[in-house]
Amino acid sequence: MKSNTIKTLSAIGLGLAVQAAFAGNITDINVSTLPDNQKIIKIKFDRDVTAPTGFNAGSPSRIALDFPNTGVALGQSVLEYADPLLNQISAAEDKGKTRVLLNLSKAGQYTTEIKNQEVWVYVNETAAPAAAPVSSTPAARSQQEQVGNTANIDFRKGTGNTGVVELNTGSFTGQPEIKRQNDRIVITLKNYPIQIQAQRNLDVSDFNTPVRTVTMKRLGNATQIVIRNNGNWDLRQQSTNGRMTFEVSPKTTQESSGLSTKNKNFSGKRVSFDFQDVEVRTILQILAKESGMNIVASDSVKGKMTLTLKDVPWDQALDLVLDARNLDMRRTGNIINVAPRDELLAKDKATLQAQNEINDLGPLFSQTFQLKYKNVEEFRKILRIEDNNSSSSSENSILSKRGSALIDPATNTLIITDNSMIIRKFQKLIEELDVPTRQVMVEARIVEATDTFARDLGVKFGAYGVSGRNSWGSDFANAVNNRGTAVSNAIASYNNAVGGSNTLVSPTPFTFNPNVSLPVSSATSSIALVRAIGSGALGLELSASQAQGKSKIISSPRVLTQDRKEATIESGKEIPYQEASSSGATSTSFKKAVLGLTVTPNITPDGQVIMDIQVNKDSVDASCGATEPCISTKNLKTMAMVEDGGTLILGGIYEEENSDSVRKVPLLGDIPVVGNLFKSRARNENRNELLIFITPRIMDNQGSTLRY
């Protein structure tokens, strides 16, 4: 008993040792690029991912990563890259460990992170001490990223419906990179990574401020904060002692626009008045003292009024006074000009007319705009430019009557000639429109599954023979043939006897064509029995067949396209068809039988993707019975919305066919037991299922893939 226990423990120990010796294998290595030439090396394992240890070395610069108890199962052990930072990746196994060597063209540093069945290695150009050992254990990695662990974001609502985002960066000493775009603010903290657990996504749309979402995420060896806004907005930022404050306020043109609608939201200091037959100019003077504003009244402002107000905002009191005396105001900064409404309107009209005369008579300026991302041809419709590069005389054009625009497709340049106001308008317009378009990778997966089953059981039964002058067989033609065969055999035997030959004549066999023929088509097994009776014979043949099959076909077309741009990918054949006209002439036309995907993605502001999709899966069917080949088609056309990286089942078709059939000889097939010799049974079961999946992935233009 003790001996068996020792053997069992030894076997268990040996198994654990073997398992430890072969923890897992490296099966694939992929490389991607992030902003600032940062790299992500994704090392994939088949199982049991282990954390590496490594070091940096110089002359030439390289990073060595050692994976204990790991093997290599790569199709190619050395990977070459034409990249400014990364030159080569090699993997080799030695004594139970695997070393992955990263050859760099510049001095760099790295951090590692385990994600599912992969080890991600982040490499950037920031120089590290040469030949200094750098541990990649989880404890060391936590020490390297302790600065990023202190990063935090917070949101609060400020005065005047402003949104305040506070960013606490801990000991970050660098200068953040702040970019303002049309609907967002992007703050990048270079060389300041945060842990994946520290990433945040705040939805603050319920606070009724211009800010909708605040996102903090890690991008390689950097941290990025994205503030998405809505409507027109202004930004004011402050930075003190590692704390950055971003205040996003609604943008208004009330102060500078004299013809704009009055603001009816009053928030000034509350005042109380009780005046009896007081001059309007005196009331305006009192309001100026209470509000701290400078109120300038025109000489046309005259009259008296009685006013009793209790605990109302001063700006509301001013509005009541102006409405009661048919007055209006124009506000610039902390100065308010008060005058009769007709006088101000006439002044505004005169100002606009003078501005129009300046635009009509003033000097013209030319400015060249070289577009970075947009195609200059897209501005033809906006500017009403004809194909001959001349501007059309449309009143809805952005240009003035004297303005003109030229485009140069060779250099992707737009040349605008117009007054200074239009030039400034174009500067703002191109700044908002000439931005990189987001891209979407759309992958469709078409899965076809088939399950078939068939079983057949049949019999052949008949007789043949010749007796004297009579012959018989399974049918009339068979009987006649057997009689002729008997006569031929008799003549051959007689001639042989007359000739004195001792050689026996080989008789021609009789024909056997069963009169009961219910066989199985393509039977894999059969049993035959022949029993001689006098000058004839009885024959019986049983045959059976059973077939079962399962198949799965997966088609996965994928295509990369820009936002709101249609993309198409096809793979297949074109089938020729003969067409005849009324005159009798024939021509050849072609029809596609392809696997195709046509999609137009639309990225929503909240990160969803709306897609107009058409999926085709056609195949040639030569067994349809027509003179020309037929096309078996499967088509789906729909519009759907799915989140970034999510998978959606667009549709599916399920078909099931069951059949049981019996073929028999009338009357004889109905006899109990014996009737089975005169029957053929067939059973068929066919199940087909088609499913179509769609997965969009938004490419945020954060980097490009070096190897897929």
Provide the 8-state DSSP code for 675.
Answer: G
- According to DSSP, the β-strands at 222-229 and 184-189 are antiparallel
The pLDDT value recorded for residue 149 is: 45
* Residue appearing with tokens 């087909």: 688
Q: How confident is the model at residue 668, as a pLDDT?
A: 79
CA dihedral 662, 667, 668, 670 (to 10 degrees): 60
CB 534 within 8 A of CB 480: no
Instruction: Find out whether 26 and 44 touch, Cβ atoms under 8 Å.
Output: yes
Residue 112 pLDDT: 85
State the residue for tokens 């009789």.
510
Mean pLDDT calculated for residue range 24-31: 85
pLDDT at 498: 65
In terms of pLDDT, which residue wins out, 181 or 600? 600
Q: What's the pLDDT band for 227 if we cut at 50, 70, 90?
A: very high
In this structure, are strands 24-34 and 70-72 parallel, antiparallel, or unpaired?
parallel
Helix orientation angle between 314-324 and 280-291, rounded to the nearest 10 degrees: 160
Pull the structure tokens for residue 220. Answer: 């390689």
Say if residue 420's pLDDT is above 60.
yes
CA 228 remoteness from chain centre? 22
Q: If you average pLDDT over residues 526-535, what whole number do you get? A: 60
pLDDT for res 52: 87
pLDDT digits (tens, 9 = 90+) for 114-139: 888 888 888 887 544 433 344 444 44
